[in-house]
Structure 1
Amino acid sequence: MRRKLVVGNWKMHGSHKANAELLSGICEARPFGADVAVCVPFPYLSESAVALAGSDIRWGAQDCSAHEQGAYTGEVSVSMLAEFGCRYVIVGHSERRAYHGESDQLVADKAKAALARGITPIVCVGETLAQREAGETETVVKRQLSAVIHALTHCVGEMVVAYEPVWAIGTGLTATPEQAQAVHAVLRAQLKAATPKADGMTILYGGSVKPDNAVTLFGQPDIDGGLIGGAALKAADFVAICRAAG
């Protein structure tokens, strides 16, 4: 049985006061029956590491550079993240792909850089509403994942995959459990063709996951937890989702 994983993606939210209250609320609710992590904005990595030290809650970042160092103003390297004890880094989130023009290859390069430094990349894939309505969902997610598979070669089994339908992120819309499971099954099959570790790999679902739909979503055979956006900013909601996974 794969152990469930719930990861909070704070996106561009946070303040010293709000972060302290949120992390305290999560820590006080332990233990959970699932693995739990938060991916926070770069400036808050240090305080998150301090707040979570000694707990079983992991922390990570929301992006990284594909480069180790150099003249890349504004970028943050994986080696920098490693110094803050990051366990995870999100790569290829649809907001990065859409707003920053990140290509499948760049996402693959970032995932490879993360693994090289011992940080687990959470590789996001997902289709837009137009692509789903055109019947292109499977083609799109397989293309996005294929680039990462080819870049990681024998290390494919060490990443986490997150299916996030773009049309369900921050919209209040959620893929039905059956819709989400269908795509997760496609991704699992693609991973099985690439690595013998596929059955043990974690594939998360993200897209307006809330306490009232988490149990049903996480009950699907190929959904191994969630990458949580808005609900991750409220301790009570995030804790409820973590409990749903355990």
Structure 2
Amino acid sequence: MTPGIRPLIAGNWKMNGLSADLGELAAMGEGAFGGAEGLICVPATLLSRASDALAGSKLRLGGEDCHGAASGAHTGDVSAEMLADAGASHVLVGHSERRTDHGESDAVVADKAKAAWRAGLTAVICIGETKEEREGGKTLSVLSSQIPGSVPAEATAANTVVAYEPVWAIGTGLTPTVEDITEAHRHIRTELKTLLGDEADKMRLLYGGSVKPGNATELLSIENVDGALVGGASLKAVDFLAIAAACPS
């Protein structure tokens, strides 16, 4: 953790979630997050109903992606304004599954981050290396490229969160070593400081990739890890709240 930064525990439901699962969200909203802030990013089909289910709760809601434009002829896409209208306060942009499945470039990700700000949303910008890049010793060079490419120079700690997710660790049960995560997060903070100046010292850096209750305490105690972006373990309230409870007080 970084002194003075309130941790964020964010969940990403991905392409999961039906009406029957809204009870899990309600249970999360009734749970305790201690000194952390809680955020759940759900499919656009659930956002409005999720907002109703969490009425009066401090748990925040986010979208999983947005288009760069506010409106227009983009069949099947969802704008940041639509997400805000449905009750979102945040949106994920640049998740590796979007980059891989939909060929999103750093420039597209940066454009989506700006769209999020335009709609009054906080952008959670995802970065991270593939298995091949990791094995080739390119992790830090990949991050050095992705950060100025994906994070607009106008980013602030108030409108942006950066999430480091090694692509090879997402949903695989594998996690980097503490030393690897420490090195990556320190490098990210340094690169953001080059890009944003002192504002980078206040920006939340999340770790994502097979975060679960069993490893949350260790992961959340690492220097410059200011929270977590949680995948599968965010689908159940008991698991998600256990991860939140692991945040250092």
- Tell me if TM exceeds 0.5: yes
**Percent identical residues:** 49
- Give, in whole Å, the separation in 1 of the partners of 2:156 and 2:30: 35
What residue number does 2:246 align with?
244
> What displacement does 1:27 show?
2.2
The answer to whether the aligner puts 1:39 opposite 2:41 as a matched pair is: yes
CA–CA separation in structure 1 for the residues paired with 2:164 and 2:155: 20
* SS of residue paired to 1:245: coil
Aligned pairs for 1:60-209 (under 5 A) are 60-149=62-151, 152-157=152-157, 158-195=159-196, 196-209=198-211
Q: Which runs of 5+ in 2 are unaligned?
A: none
Deviation at 1:24, TM superposition (A): 2.4
* Aligned positions, number: 243
Give the root-mean-square deviation of aligned CA atoms: 1.2
The separation in 1 between residues aligned to 2:178 and 2:117, in whole angstroms, is: 31
User: Which sits farther off after the overlay, 169-178 or 58-67?
Assistant: 169-178
Question: What letter corresponds to residue 154 of structure 1 in structure 2?
Answer: E
SS in 2 for 1:205: strand
Q: SS in structure 2 opposite 1:193?
A: helix
Does 2:33 correspond to 1:7?
no
How far is the alpha carbon of 1:153 from its aligned partner?
2.2
Distance of 1:209 and 1:31 partners within structure 2: 16
For residues 123 and 138 of structure 2, what CA distance do their matches in structure 1 show?
25
List per-residue Cα deviations over 1:119-145 (Å, max 9, x = no partner): 011000010111001011011122111
1:23-38 paired onto structure 2 within 5 Å: 23-38=25-40
In 1, are the aligned partners of 2:216 and 2:243 still within 8 Å (CA)?
Answer: yes
Give me the whole-angstrom Cα distance separating, in 1, the residues matched to 2:39 and 2:123.
13
Q: CA deviation at 1:155?
A: 3.0
One-letter amino acid matched to 1:193: T
Length-normalised TM-score, structure 1: 0.95
How many Å apart are 1:19 and its aligned residue? 2.3
The CA deviation at 1:148 is 2.7
**Structure 1 residue ranges without an equivalent (≥5):** none
Distance, in Å, in 2 between the alignment partners of 1:170 and 1:19 is: 23
